[in-house]
Structure 1
Amino acid sequence: MEPMALWKRVFILIVCAWGIVAALPNAFYAKVESHNDAVAAIAAAGGTATPEQEAAKAAWPAFLPSALMNLGLDLRGGAHLLAEVQVEDVYKARMDALWPEIRDALRDLRDQVGAVRRAPAPDGVLRVTLTNAEGMPAALEAVRGLSSSVVTLTGVGQSTLDVTSEGNDIVVQLSEAEKRATDERTMQQSLEIIRRRVDEAGTREPTIQRQGTDRILIQVPGIGSADELKKLIGQTAKLTFNAVVSRTADAGATAGPRNVLLPSQDENGIYYIIEESPVVSGDELVDAQPSFDQNGSPAVSFRFDTTGARKFGDYTANNIGAPFAIVLDNQVISAPVIQSHIPGGSGIITGSFTVEDSTRLAVLLRAGALPAEMTFLEERTIGPELGQDSIDAGRIAAVVGMLAVSVFMIASYGIFGVFANIALAINMALIIAVLSLIGATLTLPGIGGIVLTIGMAVDANVLVYERIREELRQAKTPGRAIELGYERALSAIVDANLTTLITATVLFFMGAGAVKGFAVTLGIGVITSVFTAIYITRLIIELWMRWTKPKTIVV
């Protein structure tokens, strides 16, 4: 039997050692997870650590790897939501924002069109009434001049606005091409903002995926309940700073043109009439952090970008003594009186907040406002007890499967079956090590993939051992029989595992969610199984042959 090259032996031993060491943290999951959380928290605090964080950090040696497999929703427990994005809200907002532009564009044509007013119309449609219909052609041309080209490959050459006339009215709405482009942008923006909000909250490995044309699937392991997740992502968090016209207790008060009537969040029965156009909006925020006001009550401090800071500073300088409404999602959360010029673009939002409220509001403001409201069609909370039951069941399945395979191999191939079992154990360590290295999320289907790999892992050994038996029947020496067994079984091993790897690849790219988890573990298991069967068992057999120097072998 020709000995394996020295560099191959060294490489195999290094890979085996790495696999065992890298998989080790998963055997102490809770301790290592606390260690990792403490390290992250200390780094975020600039190196400052509490005694509890120092204890958690010291609980796991720094010289050992600390990468863990992330546990999926079905193993850790958490919240599951299926949300529908109300994309039509964006159409309405676009029309509301377009009205001042149309009014200004028609102002220069007043001699031809007469007076201009906005008429009632369904959401997403802007209807403008002219008192002089003779100026309609000029008015249509002016309004169409506000349109632009649709910014998509499929909408090239098409206008963003559909402008028509009905009697004395100009009817404006988004074109079909622009609606499709707007829907796509709205969904992409919603996905990104949800992802940022969930990441800001410090959750692990969330699943945030688009489903169909207007739905989003959100699965967040480790969060307490679906209600908690809804509070985090369900609020649009549209923040504006508006000039206050008046304060009233009449819920039916007339706001007047270009004004809106909004309720106060903290003052029951009190309403504010504010100007519809904001002085500054939350889009110009660059930072928001939970803090405390001068009375020690929870609040949110904020900071604008350069443009927002200039607008905020100019307004406060010119309106000292006037109230200034801070509006969040169509509620006035506070309306402080401007005491002095506020330069620098920073300030503080006060209200009847708890610490949790101020923290959540800061997260929402940092992540940005959702472009449209969401309706939750499905919600589930998976408790950690159920997740632990799944982990225990998966662990039992893996252990039972491994024991059954080990007994079969020893009964069928004796000492060579023991060698295959050693390689199988190393194979399991390598799978866990690779999953930890790439930060993969382990789910119940993923455990199924690992259990399946246990059964498949010894297939290559069976092929090799049966081939060795055939060579021994032809009176080959033990060393030569082993060498030929590995050489002649190699093509069958590669063929069988290559087809499985192709299947796993197709499942990964065509599947979603749990199917991807199964595909990842199956694909990694195929690669590590081939490596352990061809190289590790051969190295073990070679070392055994050199040590025992048997005249005959029984396989």
Structure 2
Amino acid sequence: MSKKRIYIIIGVIFILAFFAGNLVYPQLLKLPNFPQIPFKLGLDLQGGSHLVYEADLSSVEKAEYSSAMQGLRDVIERRVNLFGVQEPIVQTQEARGHYRLIVELAGIIDPAEAIKMIGQTPFLEFKEPKENYQEILSNNQKVIESGEGEIEDPYQATALTGKYLKKAELGFDQTATYKSLVLLQFDDEGSKIFEDLTSRNVGKPLAIYIDGLPISAPIVQETISGGKAQITGNFTIEEAKALVRNLNAGALPVPIKLISQQSVGPTLGKISLEKSLKAGILGFLGIILFMIFFYRLPGILSALALGIYAVVVLSLFKLIPVTLTLAGIGGVILSIGMAIDANILIFSRMREELRGGKSFAQSVEDGFNRAWPAIRDGNLTTLIVAVILFSFGTSFIKGFALTLSLGILISMLSAIFITKNFLRCFVKTRLENWKWLW
């Protein structure tokens, strides 16, 4: 490879490192209009509550387990969002026949407050248009256009709520269009209320609200009796499924039981973050000193490559974004160690080639080529383990696996493009003849 091409590659690497470094620490140069993206900190670093619930699916058919858990997740997520919790994490987990709901609420330090927030049952209600429905819609449009005033709800409450709904199911129009629709089944009391409600609103929209938020406003086609109804509209299959899930989950048909709770205070989270950063920095400096002491000039190049590697990885964590936890930071530190391991293999092989009497240029190429299979195989096996951990582990294990995987991928690219080209820069220079440096 020509020197000109090598210098171009290195120039691109330094430009990339420059922007990555400013993304990681924008206060350094304070470039105008440069994006400032904060790190996304996990519960153990930011502080908050971690709750684990177990769902009772005994009354649900096995084929509907997944749908029921998804509906439960949606309801709980909607519930915590109403309380203004920033970026809540709500996820489901299945392990050995147990179906669990994991809720992480950053900033909610009091477990009792978090439990109360989760335990409240979402409110499902049906609303009919107010008498001045069209006038309200017209005024709302003016408010939207002018940006002044308040939006008024054009619907008013009725006696029909989610406590009268037995279940909702996905159906299809039996005409040639075969459109998706939602089938509703009310109990006896709900059937009477629904019949009265539809009889006075034929040709008008009947709005469905969950937790005070409008979900759908289908048009009533005719008076409906018998406790069965259908909601028609321009639904896609996925939209209809989502509506069915929301309606069924609106009354929280799947009971949940709190089985674990954990609270992390903001002070403890700050201390954990400071200790993690301190450990990472000390480890980083220790590695650099080790490399310089044992490998001299290649060690200095390795330290530079490692610095570029670190800022690129951290900038990716901001861009994706990756939620940083203590376990995730552990994955980052481990990946740094693997990146150094790749450099050690390259430098050791290169030394062997130099001692064998080969030229510096040939030693660089042959040293890398001989080290690469070991680097590749070692990283790939670790990457496979990380993928398995991410697929089957808990949220904390997934954080470790994700940061480790990203670190491994970047370290392999670092070995190929950064370390190798740094060494190539010294081909046909005075320094290549100073054997004690290598």
Scaled by the length of structure 2, the TM-score of the pair is 0.67
**In the aligned structure 1, how far is the partner of 2:388 from the partner of 2:214?**
47
1:544 CA drift (Å)? 4.0
1:210 CA drift (Å)? 2.7
Matched with 1:540 is 422
Instruction: Pick the aligned partner of 2:114 from 183, 208, 229.
Output: 229
**In the aligned structure 1, how far is the partner of 2:349 from the partner of 2:216?**
73
Cα pair distance change 1:15/1:515, threshold 3 Å: farther
Matched, 1:209 2:92: yes
What is the DSSP-based 3-state SS (H/G/I as helix, E as strand, rest coil) of the residue aligned with 1:306? coil
Matched, 1:18 2:4: no
Instruction: Pick the aligned partner of 1:495 from 373, 377, 384.
Output: 377
1:233 CA drift (Å)? 2.6
1:540 CA drift (Å)? 2.1
Instruction: Pick the aligned partner of 1:475 from 344, 357, 369.
Output: 357
1:447 CA drift (Å)? 0.7
CA contact (8 A) 1:191 1:208 kept: yes
1:13 CA drift (Å)? 4.1
For structure 1, the residue ranges without an aligned partner over 5 or more in a row are 32-59, 92-177, 243-261, 263-274, 290-300, 312-363
Instruction: Pick the aligned partner of 2:262 from 380, 395, 420.
Output: 380
Instruction: Pick the aligned partner of 1:435 from 317, 334, 352.
Output: 317
1:195 CA drift (Å)? 2.6
Instruction: Pick the aligned partner of 1:462 from 344, 351, 376.
Output: 344
Partner amino acid, structure 2, of 1:82 = V
Matched, 1:77 2:47: yes
What is the DSSP-based 3-state SS (H/G/I as helix, E as strand, rest coil) of the residue aligned with 1:79? strand
Cα pair distance change 1:437/1:15, threshold 3 Å: farther
**In the aligned structure 2, how far is the partner of 1:539 from the partner of 1:467?**
16
Bigger RCO of structures 1 and 2 (CA < 8 A, at least 6 apart): 2
1:370 CA drift (Å)? 2.6
Cα pair distance change 1:287/1:218, threshold 3 Å: closer
Q: How does 1:188-207 map to 2 (within 5 A)?
A: 188-199=70-81, 201-204=84-87, 206-207=89-90
Instruction: Pick the aligned partner of 1:305 from 217, 221, 227.
Output: 217
What is the DSSP-based 3-state SS (H/G/I as helix, E as strand, rest coil) of the residue aligned with 2:433? coil
Matched with 2:173 is none
Cα pair distance change 1:63/1:15, threshold 3 Å: farther
CA contact (8 A) 1:72 1:443 kept: yes
Residues 225-258 of structure 1: CA deviation (Å, up to 9, x unaligned): 333333333211234479xxxxxxxxxxxxxxxx
CA contact (8 A) 1:69 1:442 kept: yes
CA contact (8 A) 1:206 1:218 kept: yes
Cα pair distance change 1:306/1:83, threshold 3 Å: same
Matched with 1:391 is 273
**In the aligned structure 2, how far is the partner of 1:241 from the partner of 1:518?**
45
Cα pair distance change 1:23/1:513, threshold 3 Å: farther
Matched, 1:516 2:398: yes
Cα pair distance change 1:477/1:368, threshold 3 Å: same
Cα pair distance change 1:474/1:215, threshold 3 Å: closer
CA contact (8 A) 1:478 1:552 kept: no
Matched with 1:43 is none
Q: How does 1:48-63 map to 2 (within 5 A)?
A: 63=33
For structure 2, the residue ranges without an aligned partner over 5 or more in a row are 128-162, 164-187, 199-205, 224-245
CA contact (8 A) 1:70 1:204 kept: no
What is the DSSP-based 3-state SS (H/G/I as helix, E as strand, rest coil) of the residue aligned with 1:216? strand
CA contact (8 A) 1:457 1:529 kept: yes
